[in-house]
Every structure is written in C-alpha cells, then in structure tokens.
C-alpha cells in the first residue's frame, strides 16, 4: 500500500485473491477453536498469513497460532522480521519442505495459496495424515500430469499446450477432490477468482 493506504496498482490482483480467500476463511472460522493452530504451506511473502492472523486474533479475538512454511530462507527471515515488528507473537515462519513436514501439535486448518505443483499434494497428504478438519487450498502450476496425459481420442483437445494445461489442472483437481472425499472430507471445488486475477 501507499502511505495513504491505497493498494498499489501492481498488487491489485494479489489483493483481490487475499480478500476472496479471507471470505472463504470467514465461512469456516467458527470451526477453528479459540486456541487453534493453522499452518500455511508454501506461504511465500505471507500476505495471506498476516491477513489471517489479524482476522482471527485481532478481529475475532481468538488466540490462534500460525505457522508459515516456505523453501526460501530469505523470505522466511523477512516474514519473521515483520511478525516481530508487529508483535504477532503467535506467528512463526520456518524454512522447510512440505514433503515430510512434522508438526508437534494438533492442526485445525491448513491453507495453501498457490503451493506449486506437488506441494499442494504434500499439504493435502499432511492434512489427511494428521486428521486436519479444515483445508482451504488454491493450487497452481499443476505440471505433474501435463507430461503424462496422452489419449488418441482426445488428441484434438490436447494438441495445444494451453488446452492441455487447463485439462491437466482440471484432472488433477478432480482426482484430489475424489481422494479427499474417499478419506471422509466434504469437498467443494469452485472458481476462486476470475482467471484474469
């Protein structure tokens, strides 16, 4: 934001994503206990994590602990610095791989906002393995199936990269949804924000 509190023009898309995500979080907030734990997998610069912390702890008055996980040590260090400056003492960031991550407390919700490729799958696996009741996930860059999809009947549709990419993303999310349902989750797959954002 500018000093006047206006969102910068080059950050408008990210701002819209965060606002939409917070609307989704609002719809499940009552499911999170007063002293719950939330993990943000692939947190990046943590715009969402800070917004969630403010929403749960400042607006709702809960005492939620947040953990942000990312692979980039400089980003993690930067986010920990901001958390310290804001006196967000229940917010910590760690440089760690999602695959095989262990958490020593009960996790009440995981979020992933654009955890790339299989990072989303590792986060979902963590949630299933640890019986996490609430999952909010926005996957991106789903290339795992892109190079594996091949079908003579669908060749006209898969001929061009952009259509094959979209098909691979739809197929990946469909399989993820079915696997979550098979594990007892109620699944809602929706358009998060318009493609342009």
Helix or strand (DSSP H, E) at 51: helix 47-53
Sign, CA torsion 90/94/98/104: negative
Both ends of the chain: CA-CA distance in Å? Answer: 18
| pLDDT band for position 196 (cuts 50, 70, 90) | low
Query: What residues form DSSP beta bridges with 69?
Result: 41, 94
pLDDT over 80 (residue 8): yes
* pLDDT score at 197: 42
Instruction: Determine the distance from the C-alpha atom of residue 13 to the mean position of all C-alpha atoms in its chain, rounded to a whole number.
Output: 16
Higher pLDDT, 18 or 131: 131
* pLDDT score at 147: 80
What distance in Å separates the CA atoms of residue 96 and residue 101, rounded to the nearest whole number? Answer: 7
- The pair of structure tokens assigned to 96 is 């760690």
pLDDT > 70 fraction of the chain, expressed in percent and rounded: 96
């Amino acid at each position: 934001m500018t000093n006047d509190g206006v969102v910068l023009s080059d950050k408008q898309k990210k701002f819209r994503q965060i606002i939409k995500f917070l609307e989704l979080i609002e719809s499940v907030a009552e499911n999170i206990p007063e002293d719950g734990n939330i993990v943000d997998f692939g947190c990046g610069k943590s715009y969402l994590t800070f917004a969630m912390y403010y929403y749960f702890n400042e607006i709702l008055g809960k005492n939620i602990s947040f953990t942000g996980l990312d692979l980039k040590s400089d980003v993690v260090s930067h986010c920990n610095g901001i958390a310290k400056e804001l006196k967000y003492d229940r917010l910590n960031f760690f440089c760690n791989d999602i695959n095989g991550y262990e958490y020593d407390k009960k996790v009440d919700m995981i979020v992933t906002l654009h955890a790339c490729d299989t990072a989303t799958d590792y986060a979902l696996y963590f949630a299933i393995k640890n019986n996490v009741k609430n999952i909010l996930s926005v996957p991106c860059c789903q290339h795992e199936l892109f190079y594996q999809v091949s079908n003579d009947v669908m060749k006209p549709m898969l001929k061009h990269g952009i259509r094959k990419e979209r098909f691979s993303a739809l197929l990946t999310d469909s399989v993820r949804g079915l696997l979550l349902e098979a594990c007892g989750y109620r699944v809602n797959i929706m358009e998060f924000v318009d493609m342009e954002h």
